[in-house]
Structure 1
Amino acid sequence: MGKAISLLWPPRESETEGERGVMELRKRPRPRRVDPDFVSSPPQPLPLPPRKRARRQAAPPAPPPPPPPARQPPPAPAARRRAKCARLIIQSPVAGLQPSVCGPCEAPLRACRLLRVSSLSRRRPPFDWYEADMWTEVAKYLFGVELARLSSTCRWFRRLLADESIWRYAFLRDLSLLPSSADRYPPRPLHRSWRLLYTAAFNGAHSFWFRRSTRHLGAYRIGGFLLESPYMLLTAMLAVPRWLPPEEDGPQIAIEMTGACMLPNARPGIWIADFHLVRCPNCTINKCAGVLQVMDARHCELFLEQGFWNGTWEYEDLGDHYNDEETPTAACAIFNASIHAHASISSVLSSKSWVRRCDDPQPKAHCRRHAVALNSNLLSNSNQGLVSRFQAMRDTTGNGQIVSIRITQQIY
C-alpha cells in the first residue's frame, strides 16, 4: 500500500518483439510529506573524496620540556571546597529556570566560578559617602587635641570639623556650661571663633605664666560661669553682706568695711576661674614660709586681646580687707548679680554641702552656672588673722570694662 503504479512507455529498443506488447509495472517512491509540527534535522553533507596523502616530511625539533612547577602549600579547607565548587557547572536544561545550586556554599555554581561583572566594575565610594551627622556625633566625645588631630587627616574631616557648633559644644562641655533643657546657649563672643576660644582656654596658659612670675607654685582649673549682666559681686567670705556702701564711694570703702564690693562695669559673657598657689611677695624666695591662694577669674577673650599681650593692661588694686580675729577658713566668692543667678548663689552659700572637713587643709573650689567660690581650712597654730586683696584689670582701649578679677588670701 501507499505505492503508486505508473505505465512506462515506449518500450526499450533492447526488448524483443514478443515482449513489446507487455506493460511493465515499476515502483515509484512516495514524495516526502512535510509536517509543520515536526522539523527534522538538516541533511548531513556528503563526504568529500579522499585526498592524496602528503609526502612525509621531517618532524620539527621538539621544544624543551618546561621546568617543574614550584611546590605550593596545600590550600585551606575553605579554598578546597571553593575549588570543588568551581569545577562543577550545571546549567538548567529548561529555559527560564535558575542554574543548579551548590550544596555547601548555597550559591549558584556560575557564581562559584566567575566573579560578577558588577563587582569588577564597581568603584570604591569616596570618603564623603559616610554621613556627616554620624561624625558630628562622634566629635562630641573628643577633646580639642583629638579634634585637631582628626581634622589634619584629610580635607573631608578638615571641612567637617571646621564647623563652629562642634567647637562650641567642646568649649562649653569642658567648662561644665552645657545648657539643660530649660536653659539656653550662651551668646556668641564678638569677633571671636569658638575654636580660638578653646585654644586660649585649654592650652595650659594662665595669667601668671604670661607675666613670668617666679613665685608661682601651681594652678588648676576651677571651671566656667556666666555673667549675664555687667554687675559682679565680690566677697571675701561665703556670705552675702546685708548692706553695702553706695557705689559713689567707690569699691575701696566697701571692701575695707564689709569685705565685699559691687563692680558695675564688668564685661558680660563667659568667664573662666582658676586657682593658683603663689609664694608670699613680702619675704625672700629662699626663706619664705607663707603661701597665698589666688582665685583668678577672667573673661574667655582675655588671652586673645593685644592689650594683654603687650602689657598695657595691668591689675589695679581695688582695696584690702583685714580680719584681725581668728578665722578657721579662708574663703572668697564671685557672684553674678542678676535675677537668674539666685539658684547658683544659694548652692554656693550652702558651704556644708561642698567644703572639706576641718582637719583637711587642701583647698576646695565649687563652681556653678552663675557663681564660683573657693575655700581652704587654716591651721590654728599659725592663724593670726586673714588679709584679702582685691584686684581688677580693665580694658583701657575700649570703654574701661573689667576683664579680669583676682582675690588673694594668705593661707600659711
Structure 2
Amino acid sequence: EKNKRYEADIWTEVAKYLDGKDLARLGMTNRWFHRLIMEDSIWKYACLRDLQVPPPRHVSFTWKQLYKSAFDGSHAYCFRQQEKHIGEQPIGGFVLETPSVLLTEKLVLPKKLPKPEGNPERTIQTFGTCVLTNVRTGIWLAGTISPALHPFSFQGLRIRTICSWSDAPSATSTPAKVWDRAKKHTPILPVSTKAPPGFTSNHCDLIRSPFFYYYFFLHAGTMQVLDARHVELFLEEGYRNGSWEYEDIGIHRIEKPSDTATGGIFEIKYLTSPCTAGNHHSHLYLSPIFCNGRNGKRAAAAAAAGVGGVIGVLDVKSWIGQPSDWQPKARLCLHAVAVNTNLQPNEGLQVKFQAMRSRGADGEVVSIRISQQLI
C-alpha cells in the first residue's frame, strides 16, 4: 500500500509537466491512470501554469472543466453567430482582483480617470474611455477575434493597387492560390484568415487586372475585436442557452484619419496605485502569437526582471511596432491587456464598447468587447 501511494505521488508530479492533451492520453492508458488524472489538483496546477496566473479565491466549476474551456479552442462564436467568425488569436490570461476596470480605445490615458458613477456613454464619446463596475473577479481570458468576410462586393471591400501584374497570380490559378497571394499582400488581415464563403474562380477577377494586382482590406466590416471573458463564462448555462447577451456601453466615432486601432482593459486598482506598477508581483509578457524580434526579447527580459505591470502595457513604444508594421500586436500583464494594429491611410474609425452581464442589467459583467470598424 505504501509503494502504491509512492507511485501515485511520483506520477502526480510527472503529470504537472504535461499539457492537457498528454494528460488525457495518460488517463486513457488504464484505470489506475484514469483515477489519478481525475484528481482536480492536477488540472488546477496545469491550468494555472499554462495561463501563468495565481489561483483565484473561488471557482464554481472543476479545474478540468475550466482547463478544457480555456484551451479547447472555443470562442464566443462557437455558440452563436458562427457565420460571422473566422478565427480567434488567443492572447492569454489575466486576473481581476477588484470589480472595477477601465476600458479604453487609446493607451495614452487621460490625467483624470472617469468616475465610476459617471455616464459611460458620455465618457466614451468624449474621451474614448469608461469605467465599468460590478465586473466578476477572478481569472479572465483575452483574445482577438477575426470577423468573417462577406462574399465579395464593392460595398464591403476597398480595392487598391499594390504591385505589378508580374507578381499577380496567373489567370489559371486556383481560388486558393489567389486568396493566399492576396492575403500575403494584405497586412491588415491575420495570416490565419480563411477565404470568405462562396469564394470561387468567379470572384478571382475582382483581385486581378491586366496591369495591376490588387489587395483588399475591410471597409465596412469589423477590423479588430479585443474579446475578454471570465474563465467560467462558457460553462454558464445562461450563456450557453443564449439568455445572456452583449449590450452596447457606448460608441465613439472618430471622423478623421487614425494611425492605430487600439483597445485596452485595465484594473482600476493598479492604475491608481503607483506602488503596484512595478512590484515583484508584476507579470508582463508579449503574447507569443503576436510578438517577434526585439520587442519579444525586450518583453521577455522585462518579465524575467519582474517589472512592468500595468505600466508595461502603457509603454506603447516598446511593443506596438513601427508605423509600417501592420501586424496586430498584443501585450498582457497580470492585471491588464491591450491590442494594437497600425493602420494604413483611412477616413476614420468607429469604436464600440460592449459588455455581457449575468442575470440581467444588475448582474456581474462576465465578458467585454472593444471593436473597431473602418469608416
Question: Is the pair's TM-score, using the shorter chain for normalization, greater than 0.5?
Answer: yes
Q: Within 1, Cα distance between the matches of 2:233 and 2:357? A: 10
Deviations 1:349-387 (A, max 9, x none): 00121222221211011111111000101012xx11121
Q: Is residue 2:374 matched to residue 1:390?
A: no
Deviation at 1:323, TM superposition (A): 2.0
Pick from 342, 360, 363 the counterpart of residue 377 of structure 1. Answer: 342
Deviation at 1:279, TM superposition (A): 4.5
Cα gap change, 1:352/1:249 in structure 2, threshold over 3 Å: closer, same or farther? closer
Q: Within 1, Cα distance between the matches of 2:229 and 2:130? A: 17
Query: What is the aligned partner in structure 2 of residue 257 from structure 1?
Result: 126
Deviation at 1:163, TM superposition (A): 2.3
Count of paired positions: 276
Deviation at 1:398, TM superposition (A): 9.4
Which consecutive residues of structure 2, in runs of 5 or more, have no partner in the other structure? Answer: 158-217, 279-308
Query: What is the aligned partner in structure 2 of residue 302 from structure 1?
Result: 233
Pick from 315, 319, 324 the counterpart of residue 350 of structure 1. Answer: 315
Query: What is the aligned partner in structure 2 of residue 139 from structure 1?
Result: 15
Deviations 1:281-329 (A, max 9, x none): xxx6432222521111000110111111111111000001122232211
Q: Is residue 2:35 matched to residue 1:159?
A: yes
Which consecutive residues of structure 1, in runs of 5 or more, have no partner in the other structure? Answer: 1-124, 180-184
Cα gap change, 1:261/1:362 in structure 2, threshold over 3 Å: closer, same or farther? same
Secondary structure, in 3 states, of the residue corresponding to 2:322? Answer: coil
CA-based RMSD of the aligned residues comes to 2.3
Q: Within 2, Cα distance between the matches of 1:338 and 1:246? A: 13
Query: What is the aligned partner in structure 1 of residue 48 from structure 2?
Result: 172
Deviations 1:207-228 (A, max 9, x none): 0121133132221110010000
| Residue identity in the other structure for 2:354 | Q
Secondary structure, in 3 states, of the residue corresponding to 2:263? Answer: strand
Deviations 1:174-193 (A, max 9, x none): 2222x5xxxxx33231x311
Cα gap change, 1:127/1:359 in structure 2, threshold over 3 Å: closer, same or farther? farther
Secondary structure, in 3 states, of the residue corresponding to 1:254? Answer: helix
Q: Is residue 2:372 matched to residue 1:409?
A: yes
Deviation at 1:245, TM superposition (A): 4.6
| Residue identity in the other structure for 1:348 | V
Q: Is residue 2:331 matched to residue 1:366?
A: yes
Q: Is residue 2:94 matched to residue 1:229?
A: no
Indicate conservation of the 8 Å contact 2:125/2:250, yes or no.
Answer: yes
| Runs of 4+ residues deviating >4 angstroms | none
* Paired-residue identity, %: 47
Q: Within 2, Cα distance between the matches of 1:172 and 1:154? A: 26
| Residue identity in the other structure for 1:174 | D
Deviations 1:223-248 (A, max 9, x none): 01000000011000112222345444
| Residue identity in the other structure for 2:344 | L
The structure number with the bigger radius of gyration is: 1
Q: Within 1, Cα distance between the matches of 2:243 and 2:104? A: 27
Mean Cα deviation higher: 228-237 or 214-223: 214-223
| Residue identity in the other structure for 1:336 | E
Q: Is residue 2:277 matched to residue 1:319?
A: no
- Return the structure number with greater strand share: 2
Query: What is the aligned partner in structure 1 of residue 57 from structure 2?
Result: 187
Deviations 1:87-133 (A, max 9, x none): xxxxxxxxxxxxxxxxxxxxxxxxxxxxxxxxxxxxxx999375323
Cα gap change, 1:271/1:306 in structure 2, threshold over 3 Å: closer, same or farther? same
Asked which structure has the greater RCO (Cα within 8 Å, sep 6+), the reply is 2
Indicate conservation of the 8 Å contact 1:232/1:334, yes or no.
Answer: yes
